[in-house]
């Protein structure tokens, strides 16, 4: 595996949309319009993962002042459990921390054991449960992590 992490460019949009559709079921995966809206928002930060030149995943967050919301992190099934998600997460956390973000929040389905375990392994704590968050039927954990700002110099 030859992993490259790089910033999103508008040329990536179609690929990222296809990855999101592959990673989540209908109704949870973002529509083209919604994904484009998140990517264009002021404060949007998106990191793309390539393996041997093929885009295999991405993470998208939105910063607002000292807080950020992790909108989605998608890694194609065949490329999971190879450290790509951890690399994407570490990259975006460092970038956001360097911009003054002190806290990242996210939601994840309560019935997605691997995702819950991933977030907890990476220091995310459960704040509570949001009832019927996904498709008005599946509960989600509201999770957060406090970031440490690392100053270079």
- Which pLDDT belongs to residue 134? 76
Residue 82 contacts by C-beta under 8 Å, 6 or more apart in sequence? 1
CA dihedral 88, 94, 96, 99 (to 10 degrees): -150
Model pLDDT, residue 132: 77
pLDDT of the residue at 89: 96
- Provide CB contacts within 8 A for 21, sequence distance 6+: 29
CATH class of 3-105: alpha beta
Decide if pLDDT at 50 tops 80: yes
| pLDDT confidence of residue 153 | 46
pLDDT value of residue 152 = 52
Cα(71)–Cα(121) distance, integer angstroms: 19
The full set of domain ranges for the chain reads: 3-105
The answer, yes or no, to whether residue 74 has pLDDT greater than 80, is: yes
Q: Considering just the CA atoms, what is the radius of gyration of the chain in Å?
A: 15
pTM of the model: 0.89
Per-residue pLDDT, averaged over 127-149, amounts to 84
CA angle at 48 for the pair 119 and 115, rounded to the nearest 5°: 20
Name the strand (E) or helix (H) holding 90. Answer: helix 84-98
In the chain, % of residues over pLDDT 70: 95
pLDDT band at 150 (very low <50, low <70, confident <90, very high): low
């Amino acid at each position: 595996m030859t992993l490259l992490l790089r910033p999103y460019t508008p040329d990536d949009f179609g690929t990222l949309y296809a990855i999101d559709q592959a990673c989540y079921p209908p109704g949870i995966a973002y529509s083209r319009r919604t994904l484009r809206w998140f990517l264009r928002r002021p404060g949007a930060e998106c990191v793309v993962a390539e393996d041997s030149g093929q885009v295999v995943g991405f993470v998208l967050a939105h910063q607002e002042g000292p807080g950020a919301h992790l909108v989605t992190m998608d890694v194609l099934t065949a490329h999971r459990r190879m450290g790509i998600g951890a690399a994407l997460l570490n990259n975006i956390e460092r970038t956001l921390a360097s911009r003054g973000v002190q806290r990242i929040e996210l939601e994840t389905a309560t019935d997605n054991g691997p995702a819950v375990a991933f977030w907890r392994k990476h220091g995310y704590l459960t704040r509570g449960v949001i009832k019927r968050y996904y498709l008005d039927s599946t509960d989600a954990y509201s999770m957060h992590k406090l970031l440490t700002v690392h100053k270079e110099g």
